[in-house]
Amino acid sequence: MQAAVMHRQMDASFSWDDFNWLRKLWPRKLLVKGIMRPDDAERCIDAGADGVILSNHGGRQLDVAVSPLDVLAESRTRISAPILIDSGYRRGTDIVKALALGANVVLLGRAPLYGLAAAGEVGVDDVVRLLKDEVDRTLAQIGCASASRLSPDYVLADGPMPTTTSPSVRTFAKVSG
């Protein structure tokens, strides 16, 4: 039964010609969800999309799919249009990473749904508050005054990360390891 439902929902025959038809038909903002390659993000914008949503749909059907976070930075270098991202954001640190790497918006799915299931609207409010607090705390810990000031420099290092371990501890670790 589930396979039959999935077959009806996943139509691999959708083509760029279909997208062009849809773009001509739809005069409002058009975002394309399910983008997992930077070249496809670029092609969407070139074909008239107003933005893209990088998503592997939570990895539910294909658990070996690349993470949208892995294609975000390169997608941002290729397009200036809005990039939204989803697929498993459940911590404030993950939201900060996505914003720093170029996402304009981080979409939340399961976390608010868990809050809704547990406590209704109050549960959703609690989840959003927790995530906001985690984002604020993360920004403070990395020394960034505002999410609008984030850049890849906050999450990517040029070369090896500096160590705070004293030489004697490193030596001990090598001897005993």
Active site residues: 57
Q: What is the 3-state secondary structure (H, E, C) of the chain?
A: CHHHHHHHHCCCCCCHHHHHHHHHHCCCCCEEEEECCHHHHHHHHHCCCCEEEECCHHHCCCCCCCCHHHHHHHHHHHCCCCEEECCCCCCHHHHHHHHHCCCCEECCCHHHHHHHHHHHHHHHHHHHHHHHHHHHHHHHHHCCCCHHHCCHHHCCCCCCCCCCCCHHHHHHHHHHC
